[in-house]
A and B are shown apart, each in its own frame.
Chain A
C-alpha cells in the first residue's frame, strides 16, 4: 500500500476507535458519575430519588451509635444548617471522628435515612474534603479560623 493510503487507513481505524471510545465514555458516564450534596441540598429536594450520590458534611457530635448487630453504625451528617441520619454497615475508617469532615457514598431510603456503602475520611486529620469546603463557603458556614471546625455554633 502507498504511504498516503496507509496513513489514511490507520487514521480511519483510529477515528473509528475514538468513536467507540466516545460511545463507551458517554454510556459509562450515565452511571459512573456520582453527585455531591450537603444535607441542606438533600432537604431542599435537590436529589433525584433512588440515585446514588455522595453526602458530605460533618459528623454531628454525640450522634454516633453502634446498632444492635454490632457492625452497623448510625450517625448524623450535618452542614450546620440541616442534618441527615446515616447508617453504615462495616468498619469505619480510622480517621472517622465526631465533629470532623466525612463523605458518605450511598442512597437515600424512603424512610429518609441515608444508607452508605462507603465512608471516606481522609489520610490527613485536618483534611476537609474540598467539595465540602466549597459548599460550606457557598452557604456561608465556613470559618477558616475554626481549626477544622467550620460550624462552631452548629445548630442541629
Chain B
C-alpha cells in the first residue's frame, strides 16, 4: 500500500507545484497579496507531499518490499539497515526523488524564512522554484516512477551495487544535491529580479546567504566524493577529471564566482547584471551535471546502465531552463542600472579578476568535458580528454587566482594602492619565494610544479594569517585588545579568512600528494617485507572471512618504522553475495601528514599475492582543507547580517513594498 501512497503523493506534489508556479507569479504581477502569499502555502504543501513520497519509498526499502520493482533491483534483505536506507538514493529513480525533496525543501525555506525579502520578489522566487519542481516531478512521474510494482513478486532483491555500500558514498549524493539544488534558489532570485526588471543592493544581500549555503554543501559533497574515490577505487588517486566529477566541479567554480560577485552587488551596488548571469550559469551547470550523470552520454567511471529516453527528457528541461533564462537575461538585463563606481585597482577589481578566472576555468573544464561529444557528433573519431588536458589548462588559471586571492583582502573598496598592499605583504613575498626556492633545491623531478604549488599554498595561508593579524592588530596593540577585536570581527570576515586559508591547505595537499607519492607494486609472500618511504611493511598472510553479506580474503600487514611497530593493516578482496560482485577494500593508515595505502591483489605462486603500496604525503590535507572551507562558509552564514529574520533595514526601497491587501 505504501507504494501507492507514495505515487499518489508525488502526483499531488506535482499539482501543487503547478499551482505554485502560476498563482504567486500572477499575484506579483497584479500586486495581489493573497495570491502572492498562496505561493508560500503551496511550497510548504509541495514539500510535505514530496516528503510523504520519499518516506514511502524509504519504507519500501527498509521493510524490503519486493513487490516494488525499484526495491527488487537495488536492495536485498541481507543488506544492513543503513544501506537499505541509503539504497533509496543509490539508484536513478530514488535519487531523483531525493533531488525533488531537497528542491521542495529549499522552496519551502524561502517561504518560511524569507520574511526579509520583499513580498513581490519572494512570490516570484517561489513561483520559479515551483516551475523547476514541476519539471522534475513530471520527469519522475513520466519516465522514472520509483513506485512501479512487479508481478509476480520475487523472493529477494538483486542487491545494491556493493561499491555503493559504503558510508562515504551513502552521504555523498545528499550533500551534493544540497549544493546543486541550493543554487536553484539563487537562480530563482535571478529570474525573479529579471522579471521585476530591477536589482538593488538588497538583492545581493538576499542572494548571498543562499549562494553561501549551496556553495558550502557543494564543497563538502565534492570532497566526500573525492575521498570515497580515493579509498574505495583503490587507485590511490583523489581526482580523475572524470566527466562526472567535472559535472559537480563546474557549478562549484561558477558558484564560487557568484559568491564573490554577490558581495560586490550587496556592498557596492555594482556587478548586478553580471551576478544575475552567474546565478543563471551556476544552476544551468548543475542541471547539465544532472544530465551528464543521468543520461550516460559520456563515458565515465560513474556511468551505470542508463536509458536514453530519460536523457532526452532532462535535455528538454535543460534546454527550456537555460534557453529561457538566457533569453530573459538578454531581453531584460540591458535595462538594469549600473551602480557604484570604482577603479580597476580596488577590491571590486580584484573580485572581478576572481570572477573572470573562475568563469574561464569553468569554461575550459566544460570544453574538455564536452569535446569528446562534439568530436563524436562530427564523426571525427572516438576520443577522450584526460587529466593532461585539464592539468595544463586548469593550473595556469588557478595560479593567478590564488595570487589575487592573497592580495584582495588588503585592497579597500573603490580605489586601492597596490604598491601599498604589496608593501604590507613584502615579508610574505620573501617567505613564498624562499619556500619555492627550497622546493626547487630539494626536488629533482617535477620541480617546477612542486615549487609553484608549495609557493601558492604558502602564499594563500600566509596572506590569510597576515590579514587576520592586521585586523586584530596582533602584536601592535595589547593582546587583550587583539582578543577583543577578534571577538568583535564580523563572522563573515572570519569565514573568508578560514575559507581562503583552507584553499591554501587544499593546494598543499594536492601538490604534495601528486609530486611526492611513492608507489610500489610487487608480489609478497608471508614473511616478506617491503620498504616504503621509511616504513617497513611486513606481510603476515591472508585469511578467508565471512562478514554479513560478503566473503573476503583479508590480508594482514604490519607497519613499522625503525623497528617500532605502528599498526596492523588489513586490506580485503571482497565478494558480495547476492550478485557475486568483487570489490577491493584498500587499507589505509593515516596520520595528519601522510597516508600509507595498501591494496591486496590477486594470488600468485605459493601463498604470494600481488600487492600495491602507496605512500601519499599530505593527502589528508585535501579533505581537511575542504572541511575547513565548508566551516568557513558556515561561520560566514551565521553572520548577523545574513541571519534569517535579521532586523529590517529602516531604509527600504519604496517599490519593494507592494500593496499588501
Contacts and interface: CB of A to CB of B under 8 A. Distances in A.
A6 B579 CA distance: 63
A125 interface: yes
A33 B368 CA distance: 9
Q: 6 closest pairs, A vs B, by CB?
A: A32-B389, A70-B523, A36-B382, A28-B392, A91-B601, A70-B604
Contacts, number: 142
A88 to B, nearest CB: 11
B522 A71 contact: yes
Given A24-B392, A33-B385, A71-B601, A90 B356 contact: no
Contact of B521 (A1, A89, A134): A89
Interface string B370-414: 010000000001111111111011001100000000000000000
A62 interface: no
Nearest to B271: A10
B612 interface: yes
Contacts of B299: 129-131
A9 B344 CA distance: 8
Interface residues of A, number: 47
B364 A21 contact: yes
B583 interface: yes
Contacts of A66: 602, 604
B276 to A, nearest CB: 16
Contact of A134 (B343, B368, B382, B584): B382
Nearest to B302: A123
A135 B612 CA distance: 34
Interface stretch (A11-19, A77-85, A108-116, A139-147): A11-19
A45 interface: no
Contact of B341 (A3, A89, A130): A3
Given A24-B396, A123-B163, A94 B383 contact: no
B386 A34 contact: yes
Interface of B: 161, 163, 234, 296, 299, 301-305, 338, 341-344, 352-353, 356-357, 360, 363-364, 367-368, 371, 381-390, 392-393, 396-397, 521-523, 573, 579, 581-584, 599, 601-602, 604-605, 608, 610, 612
A57 to B, nearest CB: 13
B383 A35 contact: yes
A149 interface: no
A28 B381 CA distance: 18
B189 to A, nearest CB: 23
14 contacts: A1-B344, A28-B390, A29-B389, A32-B368, A32-B387, A33-B384, A35-B383, A36-B384, A90-B521, A120-B301, A123-B163, A124-B161, A130-B296, A130-B303
A94 B305 contact: no
A21 B163 CA distance: 37
A95 interface: yes
A119 B392 CA distance: 23
A13 B385 CA distance: 28
Given A34-B383, A123-B301, A91 B599 contact: yes
B583 A94 contact: yes
Contacts of B581: 94-95, 125
**Which of the listed residues A13, A71, A90, A131 has the most CB atoms from chain B within 10 Å of its own CB?**
A71
Contacts of B303: 122-124, 127, 130
